[in-house]
Amino acid sequence: MASLRPLSRGPFLLLLIFFVFSLSLLRPIQGNGGSDGGGGGEEFSEELLLKPLPDRKVLAHFHFRSAAPPSAANGRHHHLFPKAIAQLVQKFQIRELELSFTQGRWNYERWGGSDPISTRNAKPPGVELWALFDLPTEEIDPTWKNLTHALSGLFCASINFLESPTAYSSPYWGFLSNNGNLRYGALPREAVCTENLTPWLKILPCRDKAGIASLLYRPSIYKGYYHSQRLRLLSSESKGIILEQTLTVVLQPNSYTSSLLSSSDAQLQPSWSLSQLFKKEMTGKCVLAKSSKIFLELERGLLEKIVEIRDDSWSNSFFDLFPSPDREIKELENSNGQVGSSLYEYKVDNSNENKPLDVGITWKLPLVWSSVHAPFQASRFLMGSGNERGSIAISLQSTQTHDQYFGDLNDCTVPVIVLQVVPWYVKVYYHTLQISIDGKPQTLSDVIEKIQVTPSEDKLLPGTLEIMLRFPCSMLSATLSLDFDKGFLHIDEYPPDANQGFDIPSALVTFPNIYSSRSYPDYDVSDDSSLLHNLQEKYLVRSYTEVLLVPLTTPDFSMPYNVITFTCTVLALYFGSLLNVLRRRIGEEERLLAKKDSARPGLVPLLFSRLSSKLKGRKLLLKVVFVALVAVVWHYFLNSS
Amino acid sequence: MAGERGEEGGEEGDPNLKKRAHAARSRLIVRLGAFLVSHSALVSVVCCVAGFITLFLLPVLAKHTYISENALMPGSANPLFSSQDVNEANRFIKGIIHKRIEKEEAGIELQKFIGQSIADVGAEVHYHKFSPHTNHFNPLHFFSSTSNTARIDTNNSCASFGVNTVGIIRAPRGDGKEAIVLVSPYNSQNMEYNEALSLGLAFSVFSLLSKVTWLAKDIVWLAADSRFGEYNSVSSWLNDYHNPIFSRDSGNLDSISNDCHHWNEIRIQGANSNFFKRAGTMAAALVFKVMEKKEKGDRDCLTMYAEASNGQMPNLDLLNIVHYLAVHRQGLRVKIETMGSLLNSAWVKFTGEILEGVSRLSKSLNPQWKFDVTTADYVEGAATLASSMYYQALGVPTGSHGAFRDYQIDAVTLEFLPRFYLRNENAQSTFLLRSGRLIEGVVRSVNNLLEKFHQSFFLYFLTAPNKFVSVGVYMIAFALLVAPLPIVAAALFARAKANEITTDDCAEKCTPIDTKESEIATGSWKWLQAAKVLLMIHSWAVIVSLLPYYISHMINLNSTMSMLTWVSLSISTLPFLYALFGSPFSLNVEWELLKAVMVATISIGLGLMSIINFSTAQIGAMLLVPMSLLVHPLKAKMNVNALLRAALLTCNIAFAFLGFPPVALLVAKGLSEGFGKLSIGDFWEWMEFLWEWNSATYLYLLWVQLPCWLLCIHILLHPCSRGDSRHKQ
């Protein structure tokens, strides 16, 4: 019977397998058919934006976009869209999510602070994660915890440290307006490396085997001055899931002149090309991508200088772009026909193994320009010294670009939102908030429009300060300062390298009235470049401040050993004397003493007599002498040999 | 309680006492204490002698330094500083010299040149202007973190501002939480060639660091304008870095300097170069300067200065990496300050010879005992240790690195002494190469640090650049010196009490009528009288310590006059206090009680001071402890032989002479510099120096040493009439 069993079940199993298989085959076909009818199925597009920066560096912005239609039409299976991400969205009911891994700092002064690239891709060092959930309020916190664990598994990072309620906060309007379903957390100390990039690349349909991602040669992209790898998810009932993966790097082109050009020489920008920058060649697109393009952007500041000569904008006396672009897309500047930035488009389709696409720029004459700044540059620093207290100061310096943003300087005000999350061991006294504008202290009610404070709770909750300020447009500098006390941590709450100090994550400064966007009149919707689409979207101008390092009192971690020794000694003494007292009979002792008293010797003679009485046995004395002799003989024997 | 056993021999017959003695016998610890107290004279002699011997043994007990923090890894990477950077430095030096010659009255041309060079390298630059600080004595501001300096607002011309140039390299992949500071002081008004050299050195290192890819911490270069003193410029920059004032009142620095056209020039040059730029928490700071050497040596020299205010030292690891890289990588000779007068002193040499003899003896007994001393080593070690202790005890920083320590930043000053005449191009290049590589190496090491300096010692004396005495060792000498004080105090108190009991017995027998007042005067609360005297003298000392504040406000007083005023005022307040509280002689305080109370306060004072500044307490203890232990009224009778008595008397008088702070200073100064140049004003100048630098030594001298000395004088001159009369009774 036993041997017959599998035989009898065999056909059924086969049938079952066939059934399942056919179902799974059918579904994608269905999905595809459905999406075709709806006007777009799963899509993937890859784009790269290159931009020379004023300080002789180059910005490379990789932009990958995958879209999946609404899940109802698609079921559980996908052609291109990464399943892991889709599952994540479904399981945790994510409406919006952004995860960024950043190494290095974005230099707002030199690389710009208000263009769409910098406002979106300038992120604080370390890991930053925020998510909007489509869940009832009480389920959000547990979901967030699960999400952090899932992400940390997915991206090989310790994002799970954001699980603890002391690590994340839920800002109400300081980050994004929401109804309590936003969670925001940052891990400034997280180191970013290839182990985070590899899983990120695995999400792409071609990985880094083909297409634009094949440029990502690890040694060259990790040598950069800024490296920010970002993942952004948007999901809605109508549009499905959209996954945007961007990698922004700032690289220093290797130029032979850099060593010769030291100080007084003309500052000729280094010439570069794709193959030089990345040490890899662009040999064709990812076949799964709907569009695969490379853009080269020249900033407004740069073009303004060239326009004066009325030359060809990509091949002129200052520089040459090579090869010549397939298309030039000009930005429309809103007011009085000013020059805007320009995008030069290259299609990757035309390239192959034999004819790699090597976009580059050759400089012929030195040119100095500056990037577009945000109206104020934010920086944050600690004040005071010592292990007891200190203050955090956020200072805003005007970049002298009023005319760009505000028309009339008189009677004009600019709102600024500051979001500051402070860990609980930095005990901020919010009532000590002081604001001064141009060196004059202000009454808070004049400047503050809106304020929301979530005070920290020890070991439970970080403090969150959301504050909307209104500054006069003509202001040169403003400073906010908050005093804090440094708390004490429990011994097991210290991280392994506690003596470095503790981080306060970056504060976020948002300018709610100022949007960064480009408008390209030449752009048509059929073009379907997601990068261009993104650049045209309106996005608030934001800037992150520095991460701060607060030195806290750290115990000497070898101390527990000493403490144990001391405690044991004290306990021994205590119990010894306690026992002594307990087993003592004072009356009897006094009687004994009275008896003995007549012939009581002093302490020294007593000790002496005891010692001598012990030594009185001649055997013992002999033993001691013998041992000593043996020791001496042994010692000399050892020394002489 | 404690003292009974000492008196037991004399009181054998009293049953009451015997019972109490039995009660005291019950605990071993009490018995031991009582034993110590009863043999207080022996204990104090043994402890004091042992304390002095340990102190003289410290150079022998010094250990070799070692790099404690593994992350530092000094010298593990090849230096990148090359001849190209030397060329850079040379070009910079030429540029600076050119600028100096070009414009006789420099203005801020130099700062602009430095700023331009920093900007060309690709780093951020900003100018920090500051006004000179004058240190005012403010008695209430000791130990407070806010600086007690006041800005001069009266002199508003452009010339009264210094301008520091600050360059910041942002670490390419760093997170900007920490920074390493390089400081090169120079005088913008009257620049010497060696200052140009140190600026050139700093610039070449800075420009190299702006190109390297391994930086994890930001680099800050402070070209400190030392026209108002090196320390001043650095400390005002640090103060603005850590405690900026956002809202200034009218008549502030900005509005004043706006009138100054030099300043406006800078403002035009760079829109952002006036905003104070910061770079995170400072991990360490290196101050370096090149000095001109007169005589020729065989190797380039490097002198390290580490002492900051009130005896604080940077972490030993910082000195270790400097020493390691300088000696083992760059072949420099590293020195630290030594007390020159001790190098030739005969008695140090004599001690060294004795120790050498002992070491030879011990070697012959057992060659494995590592007790190996040579006279030369000992003398060298002792001289270095003495200077290390002296500078710590003085509580005044030995350079601008001291300003960093006030903000808990480890800092050290490196003073380079090139072997050749500076303008020798060839020698200058090799010198620049070496020192540049050294600085690069140190920066690289500190850059490796994950945590702040915490592994190695903070409390130590140096006996050689690579030898140190840690706190655990040098504490022994101090502990031995201070240990007899409470014992002697207890013994004296007990003896006074015993005396009182005998007199009480007497009183009962002789005069049955006992008034209440006499009971207070003679009862068990009698020590309160002594405490009252003590309190009075201490309050006098406080008044004396505050007097200089008022004297310094009087104009047109030279140091001698100030000193004389101070002394005369101090002396004249004493009778006034006597009149108020009653003089110690009229209060009929027994000298033994007075001494007991004094000894107790000395032990408290020294203990407190050892926490604030150990070296001061150590040196003070060497003087105070023998003085206070030996003091004995001149008139009191002693039942010892004449020789001992004479010795005691001379010791007493000698200590009473030496214990007076001004005399101690003058003698010390006379011994080191010769007695010819001494004047009374020296002490005043010294004191002025101490309080300008907020040194706690000033407080120690006037609040501990001076009152104790005065009490000792009181005890010496004690009439002893009552005790004698009682004895007669």
Q: How far is B254 from chain A (nearest CA, A)?
A: 10
Over residues A422-467, the pLDDT tens digits come to 999 999 999 999 999 988 888 999 899 999 999 999 989 999 999 9
Determine, for residues A385 and B406 on separate chains, whether the beta-carbon distance falls below 8 Å: yes
User: Are the Cβ atoms of A436 and B247 closer than 8 angstroms?
Assistant: yes
Q: Is the pLDDT of residue B531 over 90?
A: no
Lowest-confidence segment of A223-237, A293-307, B519-533, B638-652 by average pLDDT:
B519-533
Q: Are A283 and A352 in contact, with CB atoms under 8 Å apart? A: yes
Residues near B630 by Cβ (< 8 Å), separated by ≥ 6? Answer: B648, B651, B652, B655
Q: In what order do the strands lie in the sheet with A539-544?
A: A448-454, A463-472, A413-422, A508-516, A539-544
pLDDT of A545 over the 60 cut: yes
Q: In which band, very low, low, confident or very high, does the pLDDT at A641 lie, cut at 50, 70 and 90?
A: low
How far is the alpha carbon of A253 from chain B, nearest alpha carbon, in Å? 13
High-pLDDT (> 90) share of chain B, %: 28
pLDDT bracket for residue B495 (50, 70, 90): confident
Domains of chain B (ranges, CATH numbers): 39-61+476-728 (no CATH), 89-134+161-242+253-290+416-452 (3.40.630.10)
Q: What is the pLDDT of residue A63?
A: 95
Q: Do B145 and A386 touch (CB under 8 A)?
A: yes
What integer best gives the mean pLDDT of chain B?
A: 81
For residue A235, give the nearest of A133, A357, A386 by alpha carbon. Answer: A133
Place A16 in a pLDDT band, splitting at 50, 70 and 90.
Answer: low
Say how far apart CA A395 and CA A380 lie, in whole Å: 6
Report whether pLDDT(A198) > 90.
yes
What pLDDT was estimated at residue B593? 86
Residue of B nearest to A387 (CA): B408
Of A288-292, A606-610, A614-618, B427-431, the range with the lowest mean pLDDT is: A614-618
Q: What does the mean pLDDT of chain A come to?
A: 83
pLDDT score of A356 more than 80: yes
* pLDDT tens digits, one per residue of A423-432: 999 999 999 9
> Whole-model pTM?
0.85
Identify the pLDDT of residue A35: 36
Mean pLDDT value across residues A121-130: 94
Mean pLDDT of A129-148: 93
| Predicted confidence (pLDDT) at residue B154 exceeds the cutoff of 50 | no
CB A309 within 8 A of CB A303: no
pLDDT at residue A33, rounded to an integer: 36
| Nearest residue in A to B451, CA atom | A500
Residue range A470-520, pLDDT digits in tens: 998 888 889 999 999 998 888 888 887 788 889 999 999 999 988 888 888
Average pLDDT of the segment spanning B83-108 = 82
**Cβ A439–B248 below 8 Å, yes or no?**
yes
- Which position has the higher pLDDT, B155 or A338? A338
Tens digit of pLDDT for each residue in A262-277? 444 456 888 899 998 9
Which of B535, B533, B532, B508 is CA-nearest to residue B519? B508
Report the SS3 class of residue B63: strand
Best mutation target, B17, B114, B177, to test chain A (most A CBs within 10 A) = B177
pLDDT for B587? 66
pLDDT digits (tens, 9 = 90+) for B186-242: 988 888 888 999 999 999 999 999 988 899 999 999 999 888 888 889 999 999 999
Which of chain A's residues have a Cβ under 8 Å away from the Cβ of B452?
499-501, 551
**pLDDT value of position A5:** 46
Q: Cα–chain-centroid distance for residue B467? A: 19
Top pLDDT among A604 and B49 is at B49
Q: Are the C-beta atoms of A380 and A507 separated by less than 8 Å?
A: yes
Per-residue model confidence as pLDDT tens digits over B533-568: 888 899 999 988 888 888 877 777 788 888 888 888
Residue extents of the structural domains in chain A:
42-254+269-363, 384-521+530-550
Q: Which residue has the tokens 């004043």?
A: B256
The pLDDT of residue B461 = 92
Interchain CB distance below 8 Å, A546 and B172: no
Classify burial at B177, counting beta carbons within 10 Å of its beta carbon; exposed 0-12, middle 13-18, buried 19 or more.
Answer: buried
Residue B141, pLDDT score: 54
Amino acid at A155: F
Is the pLDDT reported for residue A58 higher than 50? yes
Residues B333-343: tens digit of each pLDDT: 998 888 877 88
Q: Is the pLDDT of residue B142 over 60?
A: no
Q: Using one digit for the tens of pLDDT, what is the confidence trace for B628-667?
A: 888 888 877 766 778 888 888 888 888 888 888 888 888 8
Query: Which residue in B175, B250, B272 has the most chain A C-beta atoms within 10 A of its own C-beta, making it the best mutation to test that interface?
Result: B175
Tell me the mean pLDDT in the region A623-629.
90
**Is the confidence at residue B148, as pLDDT, over 70?**
no
Q: What is the layout of strands, in order, in the sheet containing B460-464? A: B63-64, B467-470, B460-464
**Which range scores top for mean pLDDT: A396-405, B264-273, B431-440?**
B431-440
Mean pLDDT of B585-604: 84
Of B84, B242, B247, the CB nearest to A385: B242
Strand ranges inside A69-213, DSSP E: 94-103, 126-133, 168-169, 182-187
Q: Which residues of B touch A379 (CB under 8 A)?
A: 278
Lowest mean pLDDT among A241-255, A511-525, B1-15: B1-15
Of A471-480, B155-164, B679-688, give the lowest mean pLDDT range.
Answer: B155-164
Question: What is the phi-psi region of residue A93: left when phi exceeds 0, alpha when psi lies from -120 to 50, beta otherwise?
Answer: left
B415, containing H or E segment: strand B410-417
Which CATH fold topology does A384-521+530-550 show?
Immunoglobulin-like (2.60.40)
Amino acid at B630: L
Distance CA B505, CA B495 (A): 15
CA closest to B18 among chain A residues: A597
The DSSP letter of residue A525 is G
Size of interface A-B (CB pairs under 8 A): 111
Candidate from B486-500, B556-570, B579-593 with smallest mean pLDDT: B579-593
Beta-carbon separation of A439 and B246 below 8 A: yes
Res. A409 pLDDT band, cuts 50 70 90: low
Nearest-Cα residue of chain B relative to residue A124: B175
What is the β-pairing status of strands A389-398 and A376-383?
A: antiparallel
Three-state SS for A577?
helix
B380-391, pLDDT tens digit by residue? 999 999 999 989
* A385 to B177: CB separation less than 8 angstroms, yes or no: no
pLDDT at A587 over 90: no
The answer to whether A553 and A485 are in contact (CB under 8 A) is: no
Q: Which of A179-188, A328-337, A548-557 has the lowest mean pLDDT?
A: A328-337
CB contact under 8 A, A441 and B247: yes
**Confidence check: pLDDT of B583 > 80:** no
pLDDT tens string B693-724: 888 888 899 899 999 999 888 888 887 765 44
CB within 8 Å: B170 and A107: yes
Vertex B344 angle, CA B340 and B349, to 5°: 125
Listed residue (B154, B115, B103, B165) closest to B132, CA to CA? B154
Query: Closest residue of B to A580, CA-based?
Result: B27
* The pLDDT value given to residue A7: 44
From the list A211, A294, A288, A247, the residue with the least C-alpha distance to A42 is A288
Place of tokens 């011990």: B362
From A318's Cα to the closest Cα of chain B, the distance in A is: 21
Cα gap B443→B448, rounded to integer Å: 9
Above 60 in pLDDT, residue B262? Answer: no
Interface mutation vs chain A, best among B247, B252, B407, most A CBs within 10 Å = B247
Query: Amino acid letter at A153?
Result: G
> What integer pLDDT is reported at residue A98 of this predicted model?
95
In this predicted model, which residue has the larger pLDDT, A74 or B514?
A74
Does residue A74 carry a pLDDT above 60? no
Q: What is the pLDDT of residues B16-33, one digit of tens each?
A: 544 454 544 556 777 888
If pLDDT is split at 50, 70 and 90, which confidence band does A161 have?
very high
Give yes or no for residue A332 having a pLDDT over 80: no
Percent of chain B at pLDDT exceeding 70? 82
B499-510 pLDDT, tens digit per residue, is 766 655 544 444
CB-nearest partner of B175 from A188, A223, A551? A188
